[in-house]
Amino acid sequence: MIKLRVDTSDFEELDTKLKMTREYLTESGVQKWLGMLLGDGRISIESNLKNNIMDLVYMQPTEMIVGDEYRIEDEPNFYERTERLYRATKVTISGNQINLYMDDETLGTRGNLKDLSKGTATNLGEKPYSLRVENDFVYENNYGVDVLRKGDSYMEKTFIMIRHRVLNGDLDPKQILTPILGVWKG
Amino acid sequence: MITQSEDFINNIHFELQEFLSNNQGEDDNFPQIWYAFSFEDVDKTLKAIDKNNLDDRPIVQVIETNLREESKYESSDGEVSLIQANLTFYIIINENYNSNMKRKRVLNKLASQLKYKFDNYKDSLPHFRRIRTGLPDGILSRDTDNVYSSRQTFYCELIKKVR
């Protein structure tokens, strides 16, 4: 009878090394992919958000319900606008997450407060300007009538668009692994 | 080529303005333009054109939508960083510019000429690497007072001296 004794201690070490390599690959791959989402010209999610602000906030009519009456301000006047909202987009990577957000500190510090309020409503301080534009917002105008300003959903659209493109494979994580897989393909 | 400029972002605009404002070769048919940094510039330029204080030319507004410092590394010139720059170009015209053509056709033509200029004469921008200019995204926007604009994306990379 031939006995073959196998020392498995090396296997354990190999297993540990493989796990570490896998974690390293995953970590660096995710970071690289996140970096691509932020910086690459075909994707750049911050640019997408800015384009959506331009299209949905500045260029689209504003819908309102004033008391019981539906109104629409359909005169786009982008070049008379300030660029505050546009400039308040911020994007950061922390860990394995991308944070895309509107920086209300930036919004609040640029220009004067009077420009920000654009009206006489007393409850403007309840919500940041970025949210008042994103979501429906109700305020009382200077005639004491409740006004509902329809939200522009620029952030929601950006989120849906990015998710859609990831699911469609337009922003494909596999791109990151391609050079690594190429090593084994020879 | 490494850009040494301390005033890095303004320098990007300066070089682009020079590039777009000057003819770059025999086949460069891109017309004379006004270059704008900010929305205020556009507003003032439109008003000046309206009052005949400026020639009626297209305005090209260049907005930096995302500037990202990708990585730093040592080079023979010391520490440098790679900047990925996503810019957006808006071409803006009024109703009188080339008034015998439809607004969309005018904007499409200008956008094509702009792309042609970058694609064929990018060597005139030695600090700009991996330039990619998109075609207009098909959205034609109309502002008040019959101002029309189109949008196209621009991507490039720059090597910046770390200071």
pLDDT at B111: 95
Q: What is the reported pLDDT for A182?
A: 53
> What residue of A is the nearest CA neighbor of B39?
A79
User: Across the strands, what pairs with B154?
Assistant: B87, B133
What is the domain extent for residue B76? 8-161
- Distance from the A14 Cα atom to the nearest Cα atom in chain B, whole angstroms: 32
Q: What is the pLDDT of residue B137?
A: 80
Predicted pLDDT at B93: 94
Ranking A59-63, B32-36, B138-142, B151-155 by mean pLDDT, the lowest is B138-142
Of B68, B147, B154, the CB nearest to A79: B147
- What HEC string does chain A produce? CCCCCCCCHHHHHHHHHHHHHHHHHHHHHHHHHHHHHHHCCCCCHHHHHHHHHHHHHHCCCEEEEECCEEEEECCCCHHHCCCHHHHCEEEEEECCEEEEEECHHHHHHCCCHHHHHCCCCCCHHHCCHHHHHHCCEEEECCCCCEEEECCCCHHHHHHHHHHHHHHCCCCCCHHHHHHHHHHHHC
- Is residue A134 very low, low, confident or very high in pLDDT (cuts 50, 70, 90)? very high
Q: How far apart are CA A32 and CA A176, in angstroms?
A: 7
Total domains, chain B: 1
Which chain A residue is nearest to residue B45, measuring alpha carbons? A79
Residues B121-156 pLDDT 10s: 999 998 999 999 998 887 777 666 678 899 999 999
Statement: residue B117 has pLDDT above 90: yes
**Which pLDDT value is given to residue A110?**
44
In a domain, B91, yes or no: yes
Whole-model pTM: value is 0.78
Of the candidates B46, B84, B151, the beta carbon closest to that of A79 is on: B46
Of B46, B132, B153, the CB nearest to A47: B153
Q: How confident is the model at residue A116 (pLDDT cuts 50, 70, 90)?
A: very low
> Is the Cβ of A61 closer than 8 Å to some Cβ of chain B?
no
B127 lies in a domain? yes
Phi first, then psi, for residue A22 (nearest 5°) are -60, -45
Closest listed residue to residue B42, CA positions, set B76, B5, B90: B90
- Say yes or no: A27 contacts chain B, CB-CB below 8 A: no
For chain B, what is the largest distance between any 2 Cα atoms, rounded to a whole number of angstroms? Answer: 55
Please give the pLDDT value at position A186.
40
Give me the interface pTM, i.e. the ipTM. Answer: 0.78
> Residue A94 above 80 pLDDT?
yes
- Residue at B151 is within a domain: yes
Looking at residue A70, what is its pLDDT? 92
Q: Average pLDDT of chain A?
A: 76
Q: How far is B72 from chain A (nearest CA, A)?
A: 14
Contact A41 B43 (CB under 8 A): no
* Residue B1 belongs to a domain: no
B110 assigned to some structural domain: yes
Q: What is the CATH number of the domain that holds B28?
A: 3.30.2000
CA distance A2 to chain B (A): 58
**Residue B2 placed within a domain:** no
Residue B3 placed within a domain? no
The minimal CB distance from B88 to the residues A35, A47, A76 is found for A47
pLDDT band for position A117 (cuts 50, 70, 90): very low
A76 touching B (Cβ < 8 Å): yes
Q: Does a structural domain hold residue B100?
A: yes
- Integer CA distances (angstroms), A63 to A75, B75, B108, in order: 11, 55, 30
